[in-house]
Amino acid sequence: MGSGFIGSYWILSVLVIIAGFLLVVWAVVRVVRRVNLRSDDGVSQDPAIRILKERYAHGEIDREEYLQRMQDLRD
């Protein structure tokens, strides 16, 4: 008696719990990725490094000069 809907209700409950867990994991992964992107952008937002990268990309300076100046800026 009563094993129809109520008997299969536990399956629905388990699926909802799993979906909630996956949602939490997804949200944590998104937050961690955003934090990592912001920390990476912090270095590249330095105007001196950005200009140095642009000059190297445009061919205004060679690789040796680029690496030396990058090292100087990071020290």
> pLDDT per residue over 33-56, tens digit each?
888 766 555 555 688 888 999 999
User: What's the mean pLDDT when you consider all of the chain?
Assistant: 84
> What's the CA gap between 35 and 42, in Å, rounded?
11
pTM score, two decimals?
0.45
User: Which amino acid is residue 37, in one-letter code?
Assistant: L
pLDDT of residue 1: 47
- Both tokens of residue 41? 């952008």
